[in-house]
A and B are shown apart, each in its own frame.
Chain A
Amino acid sequence: MPYDPRLVQPMREELTQIGVQELRTPAEVDAFMAQKSGTAMIVVNSVCGCAAGQARPGVRLALQSAVKPDRVATVFAGQDLDATARAREYFSQFPPSSPSIAIFKDGEVAHFVPRHFIEGRDALHLANALVETFNKHCTPAAAK
């Protein structure tokens, strides 16, 4: 059962305030994924304190990197159920978990961060791992 929206709103805003696009319907997910060229990242947000509480600041830190995905979006597991289910169809080869993060290159999954890579670690650990992945798959803004 979804949590009270008032409780969840700050968790949404922790990402949307830095420009992460929130996808709340399957149609919005499909529209985001329709653009195949370049790099994209979808963050599966969640209420879970032990993992998502570190995932959101980790994503925020990582997105300060000069090299990062062209487009970044988020769905909220346990809240926006249909949108989350649709997003997971785009990385269905991986068992569903939340929070989790999928990075796409030209429409294909290039990297996936499952929940167990996040839980029990601090935000900086996730940020460093994401930046390493960005450097591997994304193009620096200056080179575009």
Chain B
Amino acid sequence: MGTFHHDKHQLHGITVVVETHGPRVFVGRCDDIDETGVILLDADMHESADGGASKQEYLRRAAQFGIWKKHDRVVVPRHEVACVTPLGDLPTD
């Protein structure tokens, strides 16, 4: 799906949503998925408890327009990861 980097996960280069078992959700460009977790580049993180937009609203906006990068690189630990979905697969309405 991603690219010609055979040493990387198939989602390498794809902008993904990483949902966690907790209140945090991450969106960023997947660099790799390995035994440590999901490695994201140019990533943003939303936490439902922070009083801002709800997770659903945050993801709806992200799916429409993309995200404003807040972190160059983030590793979401494997045990926290609930699911990984390409951002482009999310509905925009």
Q: Which residues of A contact B12 (CB under 8 A)?
A: 50
Chain B residues, Cβ within 8 Å of A94: 65-66
Give bound CA distance, A119 to B67, whole Å.
15
Size of A's binding interface in residues, CB under 8 A? 15
| Count of A-B contacts judged by CB separation below 8 Å | 44
- Structural contact, B66 and A119, CB atoms closer than 8 A: no
> Does A2 interact with chain B (Cβ within 8 Å)?
no
Residues 1-24 of B, flagged 1 when their CB comes within 8 A of A and 0 if not, give: 111100000001111000000000
Asked if B74 is an interface residue, CB under 8 A from chain A, the answer is no
Q: Are B66 and A120 in contact (CB under 8 A)?
A: no
Cα A97 to Cα B15 in complex, Å, equals 10
Q: Which residue of A lies closest to B13 (CB)?
A: A50
The secondary-structure label for the interface of chain B is loop
Shortest distance from the beta carbon of A130 to any chain B beta carbon, whole Å: 15
Within 8 A of B (CB), among A37-52: 48-51
B1 surroundings in chain A (CB, below 8 A): 120
- Contact among B63, B67, B69, B86 with A120 in the assembled complex (CB-CB below 8 Å): B86
Given contacts A50-B3, A50-B14, contact A120 B65 (CB under 8 A): no
Given A50-B2, A119-B88, A120-B2, does the pair A95, B68 have CB atoms closer than 8 Å? yes
Q: Does A121 contact B (CB under 8 A)?
A: yes
Starting from the known contacts A95-B68, A116-B66, 7 additional A-B residue pairs (CB-CB under 8 Å) come to A49-B4, A51-B13, A95-B65, A95-B67, A116-B87, A119-B15, A120-B86
A residues neighboring B (CB under 8 Å): 48-51, 94-95, 97, 112, 114-117, 119-121
Q: Which 7 A-B pairs have the closest CB atoms?
A: A50-B13, A116-B15, A114-B66, A50-B3, A95-B66, A116-B87, A116-B88
